[in-house]
Amino acid sequence: MTTNLTELLNQYRKDSRCLAGFNINDIYDLHAVTLAANELDLPFMAMTYPPVAALNTTYLCRKMIDGFQNIAKNKIYLHLDHSTSVDLCKRAIDDGYDSVMIDGSHFDLATNIAMTREVVNYARSAGVTVEAEIGKIMGRGVEAKFERDFLASVSDVVAICEEANPDIVAVGIGTAHGFTSTQPKIHFDRLREIAASISHPLVLHGGTGIPDEDIQKAITLGISKINIGTIVHSTYMNCVHSEISKDIDSAYPPVIMKNVISKVQGVVKDRLLAINPHLAS
Ligand code: 13P
């Protein structure tokens, strides 16, 4: 199978398969995700949120993936997640990211389309995949205020595809970022309508809180990439916290991080199996 990301995701859309994207922050969680993906012989997407790219630089994030590619059995795709900045997308493209998300979903449609078009034009010659977003992914903080109008409208999805031509599209269909007090209600009918209107691979955000059967149903309806973040960093932080609480004075990072890697690896493997149930033995 091809390793070109856009081609791979188009093939996945046709075959009702799905690539897992994990939000990573450093070499320890990246190490854990790589080991889990190796166990199941799967490629994956390593996604950096803008603060991670800002802290480590897009240049070093690229080098970090290049290093881990040497121990990965399959391709690791480096992705910039939820960038609201066109300039940051351009910097990531210049530094060799495989994929960038320009998130104009908080703006009006015309602005979202204009931002997406600018990134698509910049990315094309570099062969970088561009993800756009229509509708809103709910969650905490500012996202908690999206009580209405968060669902992606079919006509908006068609408009951004026709006018800005992104490679893949994230669609707001009721999922939420992070742990939520109530289970998100996923609007499968809307997903069905969107998938019938465009052939682009569709992306589902908020992977932490989605039950396994809903993940699998969404894949049959056109979801070709699922983003998973909170479960990774919360497992990481909880493990660090419990380890250093035992005896802070003798806490030695390589010993602690070895435990963190193993805990995160287990959680990531579990999510990979939810996305690929046929691999469960
Ligand atoms: P969760 O944090 O809910 O897993 O969502 C991650 C995400 O959608 C990143 O784009």
Q: Write down the domain spans for the chain.
A: 5-279
Told to judge if 95 belongs to the known catalytic residues of this protein, a careful annotator would answer no
Output the residue whose Cα is nearest ligand 1's atom 9. 227
Mean pLDDT of 262-267: 98
Distance (Å) of CA 89 to CA 4, 10, 82, 278: 19, 22, 10, 35
State which of 18, 25, 137, 237 you would mutate to test the pocket of ligand 1, scoring each by most atoms of that ligand within 8 A of its C-beta.
137
Q: Looking at ligand 1, which atom is closest to the CA of residue 209? A: 3
pLDDT, one tens digit per residue, over 187-246 is: 999 999 999 999 999 999 999 989 999 999 999 999 999 999 999 999 999 999 999 999
Task: Report pTM.
Answer: 0.95
- Name the residue among 117, 147, 142, 148 with its Cα closest to residue 132: 117
pLDDT, one tens digit per residue, over 124-151 is: 999 999 999 999 777 655 455 555 568 9
Mean pLDDT of 84-97: 98
pLDDT of residue 41: 98
**CATH architecture of residue range(s) 5-279:** Alpha-Beta Barrel (3.20)
Residues of each annotated binding site for Zn(2+): 82, 103, 133, 177, 205
Helices (H), the chain: 5-15, 27-40, 50-56, 58-69, 86-94, 109-124, 154-164, 188-197, 212-220, 230-246, 253-275
Which 8-state DSSP code applies to residue 141?
Answer: G
Output the residue whose Cα is nearest ligand 1's atom 5. 206
* d(C-alpha 170, C-alpha 183), whole Å: 20
Q: Looking at ligand 1, which atom is closest to the CA of residue 231? A: 4
- What tokens does 222 get? 């056109």
Report the mean per-residue pLDDT for the chain: 94
Q: Looking at ligand 1, which atom is closest to the CA of residue 82? A: 10
Residue 181 predicted with pLDDT over 90:
no
- Name the residue among 5, 21, 276, 3 with its Cα closest to residue 170: 21
139 lines ligand 1 (CB under 6 A): no
103 lines ligand 1 (CB under 6 A): no
Task: Choose the catalytic residue: 29, 81, 98, 167.
Answer: 81
pLDDT, one tens digit per residue, over 3-38 is: 899 999 999 999 999 999 999 999 999 999 999 999
Amino acid at 140: R
23 lines ligand 1 (CB under 6 A): yes
